[in-house]
Amino acid sequence: MSRHFARAPGVLSRHTAGRVLLLPPAAERPVELAGTGVLVWELLARPRSEEDLAAVLGDRYGLAPSAIVKDIRPALRALEQSGAIRSEP
Amino acid sequence: MTRTDLAGLLRAVAAHSLPGATEPFPPRPLAGATWEQLLGGVRSQRLAGHLLHAIAAGDLPVTDGQHTEAAELHKAAMTHVLLLERRLLHVLEVFGANGVDYRVLKGAAYAHVLYPDPALRVYGDSDVLVPSRAWEAAVAALTGAGYRRRWPQPRAGFDRRFGKGGMFTDPQGYELDLHRTFVLGPFGLTVDLDELFTSSSSFEVGGRTLLALAPEARFLHTCYHAALGSVNPRLVPLRDVAQHLLAEHLDPDAVLEVARRWSAEAVVARAVSLTWRRLALADVVPLSVWARRYEPSAHERWALSTYNGPDHSYGAKTLAAVQTLPSMRDRAAFLYALLLPERDYLAARGTGYLRWWRRGWQALLNREQV
């Protein structure tokens, strides 16, 4: 069973020129997301599993979800480390 | 590019996507120097959100380099806004812990309650209104949380009874304008301040629900800011006025009923007329028609002149305020505090009693000449 990801509470955000700026509660400066990262952030408006995210993105880009999972894992890890999202088993 | 051309371009940006906006955008990308001037104007007028929106909508053609510059300008503005928003949440937490009621004012609220995307509204500081009865508690709570007040009040109790508010800075240097009323001077003393806390509108920031003024009061405050805040207001408060009237569908009768109770019809008329003129809006709404026809009384013209006339100094507004105060007792207390302020009040302004009195005397003479 894969982990579920959700937006962390208290994250502030703004869209700017196809990107999203996120300010997690403990961050000194905003984190900037572009490309797929923006879509991942939008999808995480409700908690989702890694597979669920990969299925939606795969559908969108015409790729196999298994290929997408490998791509989004580093992005999810980076977002988690920044405090913008959190995961639960 | 002439000053008029630049003003027209800024108007087009400020009015972008409003119904009835008439100022045209150029048909092709601007030349380098012209673009730089526009970018400078957009920065100082806090219009980066509307500029980026006009570009994204294809209404303002730009080169790739210009698009990058507009995006960078907006990113810098949004970074500042996010940091301000975090400080605002902290202030409201402090108020919550101390039982201080509040309403978020201006940009921090408008971004969320007035515009379809909060990224459209750029602002440079946070503004919060607190009830007069909670003024001292609010100041104590902020001071306890590490905020420093920039200017002390003239005498103890002055702010709670007569003041507009105070400016505070947090340890990181971010500014907070704490308001008791909307403006200095005569128009700030006729607002029904208790009424502002009997209703509200709400918005969410970072998962927390925050309170702003109810729509009619919020629109009236926008008018005070646009009409009285500065002799030559930025375009962004005028856009806020237009946004309220063209996108928010306020009930004009309800707005005017409150304006009449607050003796603020002249303020609304000036703000709306100024907005329609400066943004070159062709659409009409009931309040724009009313504003065009409104004839201020002699008293209203005089009160307006203390904000926009040849002598719009602090002294002029103060003298005008005295005449608006309801009782002789209030007038005496007001004058006593300003004629004999405490020493730290004068010291913070780099002056002493003699210079202070001389300045007051000069303001009095100027009023008589006007």
- B101 touches B194 (CB < 8 A): no
**Contact (CB<8Å) A17/B70:** yes
Number of other CB atoms surrounding residue B9 within 10 Å: 24
pLDDT tens for B2-46 read 666 889 999 999 999 999 999 999 999 999 899 999 999 999 999
Please report the beta strands in B153-241, taking only residues with DSSP state E, as ranges in sequence order: 165-169, 175-179, 201-205, 208-212
**Contact (CB<8Å) A14/B52:** no
Q: Quick one: tokens of B183?
A: 């403006």
Burial of B306 (0-12, 13-18, 19+ CB in 10 A): buried
Report the alpha-carbon distance of residue B209 to residue B313 in Å, rounded: 39
Report the alpha-carbon distance of residue A66 to residue A54 in Å, rounded: 7
- Give the confidence band of B368 by pLDDT, cuts at 50, 70, 90: low
Report the alpha-carbon distance of residue B187 to residue B193 in Å, rounded: 12
Pairing of strands A85-88, B175-179: unpaired
Report the alpha-carbon distance of residue B62 to residue B58 in Å, rounded: 9
- 2-61 in chain B: CB under 8 A from chain A: 52, 56
More confident residue, B333 or B36: B36
* pLDDT higher than threshold 70 for residue B51: yes
Nearest-CB residue to A17 (from B71, B82, B117): B71
The tokens 């405090």 sit on which residue?
A83
Nearest-CB residue to B75 (from A10, A21, A25): A21
- B89 touches B12 (CB < 8 A): no
Q: What pLDDT is recorded for position B132?
A: 95
User: How far is the alpha carbon of A59 from chain B, nearest alpha carbon, in Å?
Assistant: 26
**Looking at residues B309-331, what average pLDDT do you find?**
78
Please report the beta strands in chain B, taking only residues with DSSP state E, as ranges in sequence order: 103-105, 126-129, 148-149, 165-169, 175-179, 201-205, 208-212
Cβ-proximal residues to B247 (8 Å cutoff; 6+ apart), any chain: B18, B114
**Contact (CB<8Å) A14/B70:** no
Best of A7, A11, A15, A16 to mutate (most B CBs within 10 Å, chain B): A16
According to DSSP, residue B103 is labeled E
User: How far is the alpha carbon of B220 from chain A, nearest alpha carbon, in Å?
Assistant: 27
What burial letters (b/e) apply to A41-75, b meaning 16+ CB within 10 Å?
Answer: beebeeebebebbbbbbbeeeeeebeebbeebeeb
Nearest residue to B103 (alpha-carbon basis) of B187, B192, B190, B201: B201
Please report the beta strands in B138-233, taking only residues with DSSP state E, as ranges in sequence order: 148-149, 165-169, 175-179, 201-205, 208-212
Distances B241 to B73, B274, B293, B341 between C-alpha atoms, Å? 24, 10, 18, 37
**Looking at residues B346-367, what average pLDDT do you find?**
79
Q: What pLDDT is recorded for position B370?
A: 46
Nearest-CB residue to B86 (from A12, A17, A19): A12
**Contact (CB<8Å) B52/A16:** yes
**Contact (CB<8Å) B85/A12:** yes
**Quick check: B117 contacting A, CB < 8 Å?**
yes
CB pairs under 8 A between A and B: 49
Q: By percentage, how much of chain B surpasses pLDDT 90?
A: 70
User: How far is the alpha carbon of B56 from chain A, nearest alpha carbon, in Å?
Assistant: 8
According to DSSP, residue A4 is labeled E
Nearest residue to B220 (alpha-carbon basis) of B194, B199, B196: B196
Q: Please state, rounded to an integer, the average pLDDT across all residues of chain B.
A: 92
**Quick check: B150 contacting A, CB < 8 Å?**
no
- B108 touches B84 (CB < 8 A): yes
- C-alpha neighbours within 13 Å on the C-beta side of residue B76: 10
The interface predicted TM-score of the complex, written ipTM, equals: 0.91
Q: What pLDDT is recorded for position B347?
A: 86
**Contact (CB<8Å) B206/A9:** yes
**Quick check: B118 contacting A, CB < 8 Å?**
yes
Query: Which chain B residues are closer than 8 Å to A42 by Cβ?
Result: none
User: How far is the alpha carbon of B323 from chain A, nearest alpha carbon, in Å?
Assistant: 46
Query: Which chain B residues are closer than 8 Å to A86 by Cβ?
Result: none
CA angle (B178, B319, B365) in 5-degree steps: 135
Nearest-CB residue to A12 (from B52, B56, B205): B205
- 211-230 in chain B: CB under 8 A from chain A: none
Least confident of B32-36, B70-74, B120-124, B149-153: B149-153
> Splitting chain A (89 residues) into consecutive groups of 10 residues, what average pLDDT does each group show?
87 96 95 91 93 91 87 89 91
**Contact (CB<8Å) B82/A12:** yes
Strand partners, B169: B148, B175
Query: Which chain A residues are closer than 8 Å to B81 by Cβ?
Result: 14
According to DSSP, residue B30 is labeled P
Report the alpha-carbon distance of residue B68 to residue B52 in Å, rounded: 10
Q: What pLDDT is recorded for position B185?
A: 86
- Give the confidence band of B153 by pLDDT, cuts at 50, 70, 90: confident
Cβ-proximal residues to B253 (8 Å cutoff; 6+ apart), any chain: none
- B255 touches B287 (CB < 8 A): yes
- C-alpha neighbours within 13 Å on the C-beta side of residue B232: 4
Nearest-CB residue to B74 (from A16, A25, A29): A16
**Quick check: B319 contacting A, CB < 8 Å?**
no
Q: pTM here?
A: 0.91
Q: What pLDDT is recorded for position A1?
A: 55
Q: What pLDDT is recorded for position B272?
A: 98
User: How far is the alpha carbon of A41 from chain B, nearest alpha carbon, in Å?
Assistant: 14
Helix, strand or coil, per DSSP, at residue B128: strand
pLDDT tens for B77-96 read 999 999 999 999 999 999 99
Closest residue on chain A to B51 (Cα): A17
Query: Which chain B residues are closer than 8 Å to A23 by Cβ?
Result: 82-83, 85-86
